[in-house]
Structure 1
C-alpha cells in the first residue's frame, strides 16, 4: 500500500511528500525526519521569510514616501498643511496614502476584490444571456448574427483569454517546429544549409514578430469578421517560442543511436515507419525538453505581446492597471504577477507529467 502511494505521488509530481509518507510508516525515522525538513519544512519556512521581508520592505518604502510627501508639503504649503497630510495618512484614508510597494495584506485584499468583481461580471453575463436568449434564437432563424455581451472582461476572463492564446500559439509552434526539426535532423546537409536562418531568427524580439505578423494578418483579413487580435497574438507567440523545439527536435533526431537506424534498415521499414517507430521514440526526451522551454517562452512572450498589442489578456490587464494609477493598481499588478508565475509553473509541471507519461526517460526537474 505504502509503495503504491509513493509511486502515485511521484507520478503526479508530488515526490517531495515521499519522506513524509515513509516517516508516517516509521521507516528510517532519523533519515526521513531530515528529508521532511529539507523538502517540506524548509520550503514552507522560506515562504514565511519571503512574506516577512516583503512586509518589512513595503513598510520601509511607505515610510520613505510618506516622509517625502510631508516634507514636500511643508516646504510648499506650510506646517499646517503638512500636519493635515500626516493626519490624513495616519487615518488610513486611501486618497492620501503614498503610492508605493503594497504590503502582502493589501495584495491579498486586491485579490479578493478581483474575485468579487469576477462574480459580479459573471452574474451580469448570465442575466444578459437570459434576456437575449429568445431574441438570439429569432436572429439565428433569420440568418442574423447573435447579440453578444460587450461589457468589460473580469480578471478571471482575462486569465482564460491568455491561456487560450498561449495554447493556440504553443500548438502552432509544435506543428511547425517538430516536422521541420525531424526533416532537418535527418539530413546533415540540410542542417548546415538552414542553420544560419535559425540562428538569425531565434533571437528576434517579440516586438518585431508582433509587427511583422500584424502587417501580414491585417492584409489577409481586411474583409474578415474574425478576431484579428487573437490571430495576431497567437501567431506571434508561436513564432517567438518555436525555436527551442525546432533545435531540440533536430538535435534529438540527429543523435539517435546508429544501432536503432541499422535495425530499422534490417527490418526494411519504410521511411514513415522508421520515423514513427524508431526515430521519434528515441528523440522524445530532447523533443519534450524543447517543448517545455517553448511553453515557458510562449507564456512569457504572450504577456509582452498582449501588453504591446492591447489585446485582451493578462498583459493588457497589467498595462491598464499601470495606466489607471488608482490606489489599488499596484496591488492588482502584483496579484497578476503571482498568477502569471503560478500558471507558468503549472504549465511546466503539466508538460513534465506528460513527458513522464509517454517517455521511457523520466525527468524530475
Structure 2
C-alpha cells in the first residue's frame, strides 16, 4: 500500500525528489534538488522582505510612512477580521428574520411572510471572488472566439492575410480606450427592468475580453500554421473529415502554442481587470484599491499593498493552474513546460 502511494506521488513531478529521499535513493542529490526548488525561492523572498522593510522606513508619504511587511500583514489580518464580522452579521440577520417569520406564522398560519436578502457591504474576500468571476467570464468568451478563428487563420493563409491588419490594429489598444466605448454600448443595448447581470460587471468582463483576445488568437494561428505539412497531407490521403482533421491532427500538434496564448491572455486579462474595475466601479479588487486611495486614511497604503500582493499571488496561481491544465491535456507528458 505504501509503495503504491509512493509510486503515485513520484509520477507527480514536484514530489519525485521527496519520494526518492524517502526511499533512500541518492539522499544528498535529492536534498540539493529540493533546496533549489523550494529553499532558494524562500531565501530570495526573505531577502526581498528585508530590503522592503529597510526601504519602507525611509519613505514618508502624505498618509504617513510607507508600510513595511509587518504593517501590511497587520492590515491583511484586519481585512480578515472584517470579513468574519460581516459574515456574522449576515448569519444574525437571517436568524432574526427566520424567528420573526416563525412567530408571525405561529400567530396566523395564513399570514404572508417576507424573505429579504442580506445587503451588507462586500468584504475584501467577496471582492476577490467578484474579480475572479469577472476575469474568467471575459477570458472564456475570448478563448471561445479566439481559438476557432486562430485555427481557421492558421489553415487558410488568405483569411489570415485579410484579418492580420485588423488584429495588429486592435491588439495594442489600451483598456482605458476600450472602456468608454464598452460602457456606452452596454448602457445603450443592455436595457432591462430586471437585469440578470449588473452593467458594471458586463462592462468589466467585455473590456477584459477585448484585451485578452489577441494573444490566444495570434499564438493559435502560429501554432496551427507551423504544423508539419506531411501530417496535413496524410489526413488528405486518409480522407479525414474537416472536423476529424482538426480533432486528431491540428489540435494535438498546436496545443503548446495554444496554451502559450491562453496563459498570456489570462495574465493580460487579470492585469486589465483591475483598471477596468476601477473605472467601471465593478465591486472587485480594482474598486477596492480605488476606494482605499480615495479614502486617504492612515491604513489605506497598507490595505492597497495587501491588494497588490493578492493580485500578484492570484495571477501566479492562475498561471500555474493553466500550466497544470496544459500538462493534463497535452499528449506529450514528457515535454518540459515552464
TM-score class, shorter-chain normalisation, is 0.7 to 0.9
CA drift of 1:360 comes to: 2.0
TM-score normalized by the length of structure 2? 0.88
Matched, 1:7 2:11: yes
Structure 2 contact 139–265 (Cα < 8 Å) conserved? yes
- The more displaced of 116-125 and 310-319 is 116-125
Other-structure match for 2:39: 41
> How far apart are 1:60 and its partner, in Å?
2.3
Paired residues in the alignment total: 318
Residues 210 and 232 in structure 1, CA contact (< 8 A), matched pair in contact too: yes
Contact 2:57 2:65 in 1 (8 A): no
Among candidates 129, 135, 157, match of residue 166 of structure 1? 135
Q: Are 2:147 and 1:182 aligned?
A: no
| Cα distance change on mapping 1:197 and 1:32 into 2, 3 Å | same
Unaligned runs of 5+ in 2: 106-113
Q: Pick which of 49-58 and 145-154 moved more.
A: 145-154
Q: 1:316 aligns with which of 283, 287, 294?
A: 287
Tell me which residue corresponds to 2:211.
Answer: 240
Q: CA deviation at 1:131?
A: 4.4
Residue in 1 aligned with 2:303?
332
The structure number with the bigger radius of gyration is 1
Gaps (5+ residues) in structure 1?
Answer: 70-97, 139-144
Query: Kindly tell me: are residues 272 and 59 of structure 1, through their superposed partners in 2, closer, same or farther at Cα, counting changes over 3 Å?
Result: same
Q: Is the 8 A contact 2:227 2:250 kept in 1?
A: yes
Contact 1:356–1:363 under 8 Å retained in 2 = no
| TM-score, with length taken from structure 1 | 0.81
Aligned residue for 1:242, secondary structure, equals: helix
Question: Which residue number corresponds to residue 325 of structure 2?
Answer: 354
- Could you say which residue in structure 2 is the equivalent of 1:121? 86
- Match of residue 300 from structure 1: 271
> Could you tell me which residue of structure 2 aligns to residue 77 of structure 1?
none
Task: Spell out, residue by residue over 1:260-285, the C-alpha distance to the aligned partner (whole angstroms, 9 max, x if none).
Answer: 21221122111122112221122111
1:225 aligns with 2:223: no
In 1, the alpha carbon distance for the partners of 2:77 and 2:179 equals 34
Contact 1:307 1:316 in 2 (8 A): yes
Contact 1:352 1:363 in 2 (8 A): no
- Check whether the contact 2:209–2:269 (CA below 8 A) recurs between aligned residues: yes
Question: Which residue number in structure 2 is paired with residue 55 of structure 1?
Answer: 53
**Which SS does the other structure have where 1:112 is aligned?**
helix
1:152 paired with 2:150, answer: no
SS in structure 1 at match of 2:58: helix
Question: Is 2:168 the partner of 1:199?
Answer: yes
Partner of 1:35, secondary structure, is helix
How far apart are the structure 1 equivalents of 2:25 and 2:35? 16
Q: Is the contact between residue 128 and residue 149 of structure 1 (CA under 8 Å) also seen in structure 2? A: yes
The RMSD of aligned alpha carbons is 2.2
Contact kept in structure 1, 2:137 and 2:205, CA below 8 Å: yes
